[in-house]
Amino acid sequence: MATAACTSQPVESKNEGQTEEPTAAPNHSIKNVAGEASDPMEGKDGTVISFEEIEVKELNPALDAYEMMYWSEGVEAAAYVTVPKKKGYYYLSVLCHGGYVYSLDLSNVHALPGVTLNAETLIGGLDTSSEMITLSPLYRGYGNSKGTVPGFNGVTKDTNNAIDALYSYFRSGNTESSIRSGFISASGISLGGGVVLKLASMRDDIGDVVAVNPYVGLDLVYPWAESHPENDWNKGFLDTYQKKFGEFDPSSTFVKEESIPIERNFIPILIVQGQKDQTVNWELTQSYYEKLKEQNQNEHTAYKLIPDGDHLMKEHQDELNQIINDWYVEIFER
């Protein structure tokens, strides 16, 4: 699983230390569908601007990789897509990276603590995707996307628009393969974990969710941070919120939009949390899970704790992957 941090404060995000971005492979573009200035679809959320093949180091040889540009909130956003070379009818897997929990006047964010946001990091080395089409959105302000960092609700909109754009592209007959509609496997870490949890409350086609060290929404995180100010991440979170938005009002529209509705559903959801995570506290995540479990009726919805796991899980990838693989086996062998 691709990793990225959940960040409460701005960090240096210039080009220093940034690995080379993928370039378009010559003469291998499926089709460029960018509209002319008079195109009535220009700027419409969830529509494709371009879809071009790219070269990615360490990409599974059974896959082709593409960069899709699409519209989200009137801004050009990017996403990486992998498609099996073998013609077929495939399910869609959506993979969401981390990022800043608040909207910030930052753009061209190509790196977060512990990860570079390029194709090599997000889709290179995927070992479970040769039987699925994968979509890895780069939210506005990140990577090759235009605009500025939009915060939690904004990145959720970006991901939702990326899914709609990819569906529309395949429906238009631009490829030999097809996406099976009605079932999306969604996974994410940190802020991306919160995104996939929120998407499950927004879309009827989310089939399963894996959230690792997830951001669990403003309505839960702010009170927790306020009662645990000794944590450095909590301090930064509270300071940024109060400077940008003032007093916290749990009944406000803003807080509700930046939170995750917990509603009755039957989607299997796996939450994996590192107990030594200094960004997302394991007790807060467990509290969210207990609230979720009161409404979620699926017998496979589960919470797994990795005792020595930190936020990025870099030293625990094998254990994390085993937990996720075992969970999927349990679901699909029922």
Segment 103-147, tens digit of pLDDT: 999 999 999 988 899 999 999 877 656 789 999 999 999 999 999
Write the CB contacts of 256 (distance below 8 Å, at least 6 apart in sequence). Answer: 219
pLDDT at 176: 83
pLDDT at 129: 62
86 in any annotated domain: yes
106 in any annotated domain: yes
Half-sphere exposure for 192 (CA within 13 Å, toward CB): 25
Structure tokens of 252? 């406000």
Residues in the chain, total: 334
pLDDT tens per residue across span 178-187: 998 889 999 9
* Number of folded domains that form the chain: 1
More confident residue, 2 or 213: 213
Structure tokens of 186? 């969604």
14 in any annotated domain: yes
What CATH code is carried by the domain that includes residue 290? 3.40.50.1820
pLDDT tens per residue across span 219-258: 999 999 999 989 899 999 999 999 999 999 999 999 999 9
For the chain, the C-alpha Rg in angstroms (whole number) is 19
104 in any annotated domain: yes
Domain holding 298, by residue range, is 6-332
- List beta partners, residue 141: none
151 in any annotated domain: yes
136 in any annotated domain: yes
pLDDT at 41: 65
Q: How far apart are CA 237 and CA 41, in angstroms?
A: 38
1 in any annotated domain: no
Kindly list the distances between the CA atom of residue 91 and the CA atoms of 7, 122, 308, in Å, as whole numbers in the listed order: 31, 19, 34
pTM above 0.85, yes or no: yes
157 in any annotated domain: yes
